[in-house]
Amino acid sequence: MARHIHIDHNRETALRDAVHVLSSGHPVAIPTETVYGLAADATNPAAIARIYETKGRPQFNPLICHMANIQMAEDHAVFDPISRKLANAFWPGPLTLILPLKPDSQIHALATAGLDTVGIRIPQGFASDLIAAFGKPLAAPSANSSGKISSTSAAHVEVDLGDKVSLILDGGAAPVGVESTILKVETDGSVRLLRPGGLVAEEIERILGLTLARSEKASATIEAPGMLASHYAPGASVRLNAVSVEKDEALIRFGGAAIAGEAHALTVLDLSPTGNLAEAATNLFDHLKTADASGARSIAITSIPETGLGEAINDRLARAAAPRPSTRAS
Ligand code: TXA
Ligand code: MG
């Protein structure tokens, strides 16, 4: 069991003790507005190696480097005018920009997987205060074992990684609930959506006055190397666009309406009874974990609209449902 400190009740202790652990080269689980992150000093190779080890990541995927503010971001990355506009419009917030790494940046190659680009984001609230107190960028993937569902509460982190991390900062339920949107501005000025996420594409397109170029969905070869087809995998198999519940299934629905066979479901959860996509995003990973814990062979999930945050929700669900090496059913 890790030590837990609640950031609202013991903010100063949380900051001080987290800085202490980070300075010793060890990871700390921290709340961000999207999901919980497993954070470590982005300039310290031993600390970054401990992130990979803790998550059991099979290979070195590039990690997002979190900054306290734009000045810190500019110390490490080169901003083109469009990226700058995006940063000004949406930071702090659930947006990651892939930018050229400055040659004199102290971010270690283990965090960027040796690429000449770096994924950067300024998170909202406590996380950026912690980075400011620490004084250096924090590399932080989602705080979950590799391939498993991301954590949106300190309790999720404890269940998954509690025996591997010494300190978990508790900030309550992550308000956004899905990871940041990842964008890359190309040299021709087009803007590519590498991962749909907590910042909705329509809002980005409105600010930029252009349509985002989208990468192929759930492919094993898309640019963000961590974006493998099978990801976010619960133990049970996942069946999408369900219109009825089958034997030994748990049900996750959306919009409050009952579906056929629901009375037999091992558990019935609704992402948002009122059909609110922001609420659905907040509940997504928690409901997947709860449905999985019911011991169901399969989790049936009704269709979710593809608009707004629905794009990120459907992306995560497609990955949760993608074929994978081993499931409880096989
Ligand atoms: O909301 C979030 O983004 C959370 C919180 C903790 O900030 N973090 C997160 O990190 O989701 P992670 O490591 O689970 O996902 C990072 C993604 C991966 O798909 C990785 O391949 C991509 O970002 N990425 C990072 N740096 C990149 C780069 N230089 N080029 C392309 N993709 C990159
Ligand atoms: Mg992740």
* Ligand 1 atom at shortest distance from the alpha carbon of 227: 19
pLDDT digit string, tens, across residues 103-129: 999 999 999 999 999 999 999 999 999
What pLDDT, on a 0 to 100 scale, did the predictor assign at position 327?
A: 41
What pLDDT band is residue 230 in, cutting at 50, 70 and 90? low
Percent of the chain predicted with pLDDT > 90: 89
Binding residues for ATP: 57, 61, 117, 150, 195, 232
CB of 227 closer than 6 angstroms to any ligand 1 atom: yes
What pLDDT, on a 0 to 100 scale, did the predictor assign at position 219?
A: 44
What pLDDT, on a 0 to 100 scale, did the predictor assign at position 218?
A: 46
What pLDDT, on a 0 to 100 scale, did the predictor assign at position 59?
A: 72
Q: How far apart are the first and last CA of the chain?
A: 31
Whether the predicted pLDDT of 193 surpasses 60: yes
What pLDDT, on a 0 to 100 scale, did the predictor assign at position 325?
A: 60
Ligand closest to the CA atom of residue 116 = 1
CB of 115 closer than 6 angstroms to any ligand 1 atom: yes
pLDDT digit string, tens, across residues 64-102: 999 999 999 999 999 999 999 999 999 999 999 999 999
What pLDDT band is residue 225 in, cutting at 50, 70 and 90? very low
CB of 309 closer than 6 angstroms to any ligand 1 atom: no
Binding residues: 34, 57, 61, 66, 117, 121, 140, 142, 150, 180, 195, 232
| Mean pLDDT, residues 311-321 taken together | 96
Place of tokens 């609110």: 276
Whether the predicted pLDDT of 224 surpasses 60: no
CB of 127 closer than 6 angstroms to any ligand 1 atom: no
CB of 177 closer than 6 angstroms to any ligand 1 atom: no
- Of the two residues 274 and 147, the one the predictor is more confident about is 274
pLDDT digit string, tens, across residues 35-69: 999 999 999 999 999 999 999 987 778 999 999 99
Q: Residue 105 phi/psi, 5° resolution? A: -65, 140
C-alpha distances in Å from residue 28, one per residue of 13, 218, 227: 14, 30, 23
Ligand closest to the CA atom of residue 38 = 1
Express the helix, strand and coil content of the chain in percent, nearest 5 each: 30, 20, 50
Report the alpha-carbon distance of residue 236 to residue 145 in Å, rounded.
Answer: 16
Q: What is the maximum alpha-carbon separation in the chain?
A: 61
Specify whether domain 3-214 bears CATH 3.90.870.10: yes
What pLDDT, on a 0 to 100 scale, did the predictor assign at position 330?
A: 34
Residues with CB under 5 Å of ion ligand 2 are 142
CATH fold of 237-321, please? Rossmann fold (3.40.50)
Whether the predicted pLDDT of 226 surpasses 70: no
Lowest-pLDDT range of 7-21, 41-55, 60-74, 214-228 = 214-228
What pLDDT, on a 0 to 100 scale, did the predictor assign at position 229?
A: 62
pLDDT digit string, tens, across residues 279-309: 999 999 999 999 999 999 999 999 999 999 9
CB of 96 closer than 6 angstroms to any ligand 1 atom: yes
Nearest to 186 by CA among 151, 215, 164, 207: 215
Distance from Cα 150 to the centre of ligand 2, integer Å: 6
Domain boundaries, the chain: 3-214, 237-321
CB 157 within 8 A of CB 36: yes
CB of 180 closer than 6 angstroms to any ligand 1 atom: yes
The first and second tokens of residue 248, run together, are 């030994």
Distance from Cα 166 to the centre of ligand 1, integer Å: 23
